[in-house]
């Protein structure tokens, strides 16, 4: 989304909802984005932990090892 589009949407929201409601919407959107960022970080951390645990428990020389070598060579 370009800057001009964002400005247009902001002005449209200001005209439709007024400054007080628009500020409330922006605050709620900020809180929601912060929660999503936190959940995403927790998910990534858990996923990394699970992947690390699964790769450390697997014997070497498996077909997955050759794929790891192939894709990590870049």
Tens of pLDDT, residue by residue over 22-74, are 889 889 999 999 999 999 999 999 988 888 877 776 665 566 666 666 666 55
Total residues found in the chain within this entry: 74
List the structure tokens of 72. Answer: 């990590």
What pLDDT score was predicted for residue 30?
Answer: 94
Per-residue confidence (pLDDT) for residue 4, from 0 to 100: 93
Rounded Cα distance, 9 and 7, in Å: 5
Confidence (pTM) = 0.53
Report pLDDT for 43.
92
Q: Where are the domains of the chain?
A: 3-55
Measured from the Cβ of residue 67, the count of other Cβ atoms closer than 10 Å reads 10
How many CB atoms are located within 10 Å of the residue 11 CB? Answer: 10
At residue 53, the pLDDT reads 79
Degrees to nearest 5, angle at CA 61 with 56 and 67: 85
**Residue 33: per-residue pLDDT:** 95
């Amino acid at each position: 989304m370009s800057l001009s589009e964002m400005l247009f949407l902001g002005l449209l929201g200001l005209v439709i909802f007024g400054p007080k409601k628009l500020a409330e919407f922006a605050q709620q959107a900020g809180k929601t984005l912060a929660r999503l960022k936190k959940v995403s970080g927790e998910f990534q951390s858990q996923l990394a932990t699970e992947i690390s645990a699964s790769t450390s428990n697997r014997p070497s020389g498996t077909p997955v090892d050759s794929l790891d070598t192939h894709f990590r060579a870049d």
